[in-house]
Structure 1
């Protein structure tokens, strides 16, 4: 039987941890359950990760990377309003596509704020920074103040996370698809008012 490279094994364990955390929560995410989910010996997990904290650090990195990927994949290279709409839809589609990812992301951030304050903040900070960077790059024709860009990023996160909580609570996909449209309409209404009320930043 061919030997599986350590990097591939670590990736398997991270994906398994996402599934286990989504199902059992942080406290229930034992190394034994994670190894079983990955269909690997427990000894192999401990060989790849000396501590559970090391594994969770990679899970955090995975979550942060996935948020950055969603932002990058949903950058239409358009004006700020169009870009914001696309980013929101991309985030909601990501959550709808994988309720395991949605549950794990929210669980990890909440847990980290209680146990390792900076780690929980860092995941959010990285997601915000990715959104800010994209919004700034699309505002070349009408540059926006940094405060306005920050507000757009905040509203995106608030709407996307609210959608995720509702989706995880009820698990009704058909309702969630309709709620995506409602959530997008809320963003459209807010953007129309907010962007009309602020002057362009001075060059």
Structure 2
């Protein structure tokens, strides 16, 4: 798959820009040094927000069935406020990456205090998200959109094209159907226990 195609298509599906939620931050410049710095990620996994989830970053490998390549750096986790902690992207920073939230026996849904119904959630990290220092969230809708895009991938258009083929039933989006690109361009994040303030919208 051509790298230019992948980057173009990632911008369509995966600019998961949730800047309205809390305003995240990335590693800042140190001044006077030409050495690149590692980047710390902020955000969370939401279904409601996941506490004590495992957070793993993968390279994008289009030859793998699930497009997940090598693990980048060391996995992090989410804290008691369901925010990502201890997750740092080592240099060189070379997005796009797949960000995955995985539940284990210690993971709970912050809304219920119980084990989450959905054990895995995914989203995609782009250079734009890192440059803007935005918080990055994985949700059932981002997971659905990423998985559908990977399923529909081909060598000409890549995994994250704005395609008209498959539609997903979703009562929260207009007439009840949405393409993968529409799913990630109109994703509301509800405030929960004061962790997420307001309503966030993905940007493309």
TM-score by length of 1: 0.27
More helix per residue: 1 or 2? 1
More strand per residue: 1 or 2? 2
Larger Rg: 1
With CA pairs under 8 Å and 6+ residues apart, which has the higher RCO, 1 or 2? 2
